Amino acid sequence: MFGKIRGAGRRVSRYFAARSARYLAGAAAVVLSVVVLVTPSAYVIEMPGPTQDVLGTVDSGTVIDVEGVDTYEDSGELLLVTVSAMGVSRYPLTNAQVLWGWLDPQITVLPREAVVPVGMTDEEYEEKNAESMSSSQDAAVAAAKTYIAAHADELGVSPDVLDDATITMHVDDIGGPSAGMMYTLGLISKLTEADEAGGEIIAGTGTIDESGEVGSIGGIRLKMLGAKRDGATWFLAPEANCGSVVGHVPDGLRDVKVSTLEEAYAALVAIGNGEGDDLPHCTA
């Protein structure tokens, strides 16, 4: 009898020992998972960033401030669009945040080196973005001068109107070169009596050079989402980015393919006049 009790006791002890081991293993796995999730990640996440009406104002002043010549109001909005990136500067993401990004269809997850070149410091990255923004503003002024000189009569302005103007551009906490085209359109719009946007909210993106060529940019899918979120119904997209536009235009947003300032300004005027339906879409 006692032998049977002692045998049963050993079985009970082994049962509780095995069960305790499983609990300990489970607890260790939970702790390890938590540690992994809070560990800094080698990835960055990108999401739709803020937009800014280049015909409007920011805390530091009018976005496009033109002094020395007459300027005119427009009833619409011309939105530059941006991508917000987390994990690229000073504060790395945790693996938990990256996991959240993978689960969200409006977020893109990328290796950090795909955004920040290997060996570049946070300070150098921020400085590069600021320099790119400054260069895009200079290119926008140069492109506007070239365009106005060639189209002064139809625009109703002097071909050298900008020669006597002082132009300052203010955009808070936005970097990179991709707003060049929208800066150019905004500057031309401010110098003409015509109400180009005609009350519409028109977003767009693309680099610009002095000759008026519109160049490709990154993150266009996210930028279209930001444009739609902030009320835009039209989106001027660089032809070079059309492969990333097709199939990803949000409902309620109409894309327009442009490759030059000439095409972009013509599209702006057509949209403002209610004649945008025949403007070209991006195609595959």
Give the position of tokens 């199939």. Answer: 247
Query: Is residue 128 annotated as a catalytic residue, yes or no?
Result: no
Residues 155-176: b if buried by 16+ CB within 10 A, e if exposed: bebeeebbeebebebebeebbb
Task: Mark residue 266 as left, alpha or beta (left: phi above 0; alpha: psi -120 to 50; beta: remaining).
Answer: alpha
Catalytic residue among 223, 228, 244, 257: 223
Cα separations in angstroms, 230 against 60, 81, 175, 233: 21, 10, 19, 9
Are residues 182 and 82 in contact, defined by beta-carbon separation less than 8 angstroms? Answer: no
Distance CA 58, CA 174 (A): 11
Query: Is residue 84 annotated as a catalytic residue, yes or no?
Result: no
Catalytic residue among 41, 136, 145, 178: 178
Task: Give the residue numbers marked as catalytic.
Answer: 178, 223
